Amino acid sequence: MTRIIDRFGRGETVFSFEFFPPKTDEGAENLMTTVRDLEAAVAPDYVSVTYGAGGSTRERTHQVVTRVQQDLGVPAMAHLTCVAATVAEIDAVVDRLVEAGVQNILALRGDAPQGQEEFEVAEGGFAHASELVAHLAQRGDLCIGAAAYPEAHPESPSAEEDLRWTLHKVEQGASFLVTQLFFDNRHYFEFVERLRAAGCDAPVVPGIMPITNVAQIKRFTSMCGASIPAPLAGRMASYEDDPASVMAVGIEHAIEQCRSLLAGGAPGLHFYTLNKSLATRSILAALKGLD
């Protein structure tokens, strides 16, 4: 079995891609094509698949991670959240994943389901990602990752409080961290510096989302609390009605961002693909040979 943490420390860039489970069988086949396209561009160290709340995509998540790992031979990481799930239900999901050969899990609290303003703790469930991490760590057969927020989680009262919770997740058993999207590398490097100063040496993988749609990225950043640098926002605004130019500018920025991250010592790059391959393949083509 491939444990993601073992991919770090080899002196090579760890590349990974994130997908969300499609709602239809046709969408599932299209997703497999996208994964194959990206695998051809650069053999990823792993692929992660997001997880729907309240059962909305849980079965699809299991199907996708199983196919990616068993059919394509690519190590897979399943997202797992605390949303609308008891401990017993979480254990049942994990048992199925392990039985299918998937032992890498990204442990998250999760966002409130659509139509619900705030996260609510399920009766018999967990309130925090750190609780989920600690529970999963007791099994001993899992490699656990957790989320990090270079600009702080939007619900955190301060950057210091957010850092404390991030450290707590590592203390509870998370062996590596994957960041929320960001567009100013200063936030990533300062965040990592603060983690290291606090004694945390876990790998921190920057999450990269190429901008391909202005309205979409505005929605994403408003949800997760990420900011867009003024010069980039200005360029995007000037091309808002020109999708091809928006994508070109977004890819250009992502390439520069990735080059700077790798030059600064980032251990890898985690691409939020939105189930499409063009932007990510373009970035990878420009980065080839850097690692």
Q: Are 256 and 185 in contact (CB under 8 A)?
A: no
- Alpha-carbon span 22 to 237, nearest angstrom: 30
Q: Tokens standing for 89?
A: 């239900």
Is 161 catalytic? The answer is no
Helices (H), the chain: 25-41, 58-70, 87-99, 129-137, 159-172, 185-197, 214-224, 230-238, 243-263, 278-287
Bridge partners, residue 268, by sequence: 14
Q: Which residue from 283, 279, 234 is spatially nearest to 261, judged by alpha carbons?
A: 283
- Alpha-carbon span 213 to 144, nearest angstrom: 32
CB atoms within 10 A of CB 239: 16
Q: Tokens standing for 194?
A: 């603060």
Angstrom distances, CA of residue 149 to CA of 63, 70, 166, 173, 189:
29, 32, 8, 18, 12
DSSP 6: G
Annotated catalytic residue, options 12, 18, 193, 256: 18
Q: Are 75 and 46 in contact (CB under 8 A)?
A: yes
CB atoms within 10 A of CB 10: 10
Task: Return the active site residues.
Answer: 18
